[in-house]
Chain A
Amino acid sequence: MVGINPETDFTVGPWLEANLDHKLADDEIILGSDAHIFLGKSESNPGDEEYFYGKKYTVVGVLDPTGIGIDQSGFVTLAAVYDMARGSEKNAVQKLDVATGQISALMVNVENNASRSDVAQRIELQVPGVAVVTSQELMSSSVARQLNTLTPGLILIGIGFWVISVLMIGALFSMIVNERRRELGLLQAVGATRKFIFGLVMLEAVELTAIGGIAGLTIGAMAILALKGVIASSMGIAYLWPSASFIVLFTIGYLFLAIATGVIAALYPAIVASRLEPYQAIRTGE
């Protein structure tokens, strides 16, 4: 349970500003994404009422997952914490050892161009009796900078690979059409129209690239599942799964792109196949 000063807090302060149209009241609580587990519930929602140390608190918000301890926390005002401590005298098995006015931690927000270790040292020198802990590199620091630098390059590489895929699939279907010239000529000889032949080649392209897309998605998902721990520990950040709706949209978009790649790549070979003269196609295939 974290007691905050809503006037100065910068951990949940931004969330409060964005989502609450009033100051956090002393009988209100914001829960982390996993806090409901400790309440013995399957989920928590704004508007729920929870009791802590004999007093009712209204849930005014549930934070998005962060992958760190915040997910298992509840955020109330400092006054609410002192209330809980007083309430614990009568309502808890073990009294909370929190005196009114006491604080257990002070968060210092260091400016971007300042060194955390320097600030930590000065606090230790000037405020006797405190222990100073500096945070690990977070997303707002060098990892984020590295990712921002890499992302345009990765996008370009991705586009490059896509272009190569289109060319390779196009070449593959040209070979397929060439190999099957006789069969395509025969189909025309027994009544297939050009449109049918065109559709036949395109349908095969759609089927193949859809299967390839599904295979790619499956292999990619398995790789992420297997490596997410390594990613998190090597980058020093929490690994969070995107929301279910994002995953669904991404899957649909990815499959659409895979199929579109096949359609674009097979277009020219399909046109060539549909324009084969039956007799020439049959002769060439002999």
Chain B
Amino acid sequence: MIELQTASKIYETGDGLVKAVDDVSLSIRNGEFVAVVGHSGSGKTTLVSLMGGLTRPTSGQVLIDGKDIWALDNVNLARLRSEKIGFCFQFSSLIPTLDSIDNVRLPASFAGGGQGDTGRAMKLLETVGVPDKAKSYPSELSGGQQRRVAIARALINEPRIILADEPTGDLDEETEGDIMDLFENLNQQGVTVVMVTHSHNLASRAGRILTMNAGMVLEGTAV
């Protein structure tokens, strides 16, 4: 379960302090499929980053399975990120100097993986529909193909949580549909999926929708 307890994230900018996430308390149960919607700048990406331990809250707590993730040391926090959470970013997030299969294997190597990772990585590339691109570098892939490889990477360690920030942002409808089908399949297998999206159409495929505005969650379950 993912919990935020009165979590806030405040940034210093040239225009002063910005509350990207403002005193949010919510919980997401295991196996939920949650869509986070809202206008640009409403704090959706920051919210998901807080959930994934990518940014420390300015105040409040972030708990995964009852543990305050920011009470963990760096090694255990890194292990949490590689083993329990799979990230899909809204931009091309592949390492440009690694080919697709090495990109997919990357989290496994940080989790102490071995030779078996290559077989799993190939299987995942097949699952996401780009098995023929295993030896291609990101510059040789289209936007949609890169996104698919990034999803495969997010799944290599069989995480229990997928955090996806605009995973279908600039993709064609067919690819978008394929990716949503993939997320739904994963969710049916018990994976918790939290997806940020601008599209209410895509959000409607989730089991629950959180709407963000000016750093606050307008809908959600209070802890």
Instruction: Give the distance to chain B from A278, nearest Cβ to Cβ, in Å.
Output: 4
Instruction: Give the distance to chain B from A280, nearest Cβ to Cβ, in Å.
Output: 7
Contact A189 B87 (CB under 8 A): yes
Chain A residues 182 to 218 lying within 8 A of chain B, measured CB to CB, are 183, 185-196
Binds A, one of B22-30, B31-39, B103-111, B202-210: B103-111
Which A residues form the contact surface with B (CB < 8 A)?
Answer: 183, 185-196, 277-280, 282, 286
Identify A190's interface contact among B46, B55, B82, B96, CB under 8 A.
B82
Beta-carbon nearest neighbor of A191 in chain B: B82
Contact A190 B74 (CB under 8 A): no
Chain B residues 51 to 84 lying within 8 A of chain A, measured CB to CB, are 52, 54-56, 74-75, 78-79, 81-83
CA distance A194 to B81 in the complex (A): 13
Per-position 1/0 for B177-221, Cβ under 8 A of A: 000000000000000000000000000000000000000000000
Identify B56's interface contact among A188, A196, A277, CB under 8 A.
A277
Contacting residues, chain A, for B40 (C-beta < 8 A): none
B137 within 8 Å of A (CB atoms): no
Q: A190-B106, A196-B110, A280-B55 are in contact. Are A286 and B46 (CB under 8 A)?
A: no
CA distance A186 to B153 in the complex (A): 12
Q: What are 17 A-B contacts with C-beta separation under 8 Å?
A: A185-B54, A187-B95, A188-B54, A189-B52, A189-B89, A190-B87, A190-B107, A191-B106, A191-B110, A191-B111, A192-B110, A193-B78, A277-B55, A277-B56, A278-B49, A280-B55, A282-B89
B93 within 8 Å of A (CB atoms): yes
A-B contact count (CB 8 A): 58
Residues of B in contact with A, size category: 20 to 34
Which B residues form the contact surface with A (CB < 8 A)?
Answer: 46, 49, 52, 54-56, 74-75, 78-79, 81-83, 87, 89, 91, 93, 95-96, 106-107, 110-111, 153
CA distance A192 to B82 in the complex (A): 8
CA distance A279 to B45 in the complex (A): 9
Contacting residues, chain B, for A282 (C-beta < 8 A): 54, 89
CA distance A191 to B52 in the complex (A): 11
CA distance A185 to B89 in the complex (A): 12
Contact A279 B110 (CB under 8 A): no
Contact A279 B49 (CB under 8 A): yes
Beta-carbon nearest neighbor of A285 in chain B: B91
Contact B54 A277 (CB under 8 A): yes
CA distance A195 to B76 in the complex (A): 12
Beta-carbon nearest neighbor of B87 in chain A: A189
Identify B74's interface contact among A185, A189, A193, A286, CB under 8 A.
A193
Identify A193's interface contact among B75, B95, B153, CB under 8 A.
B75
CA distance A187 to B107 in the complex (A): 8
Contact B74 A186 (CB under 8 A): no
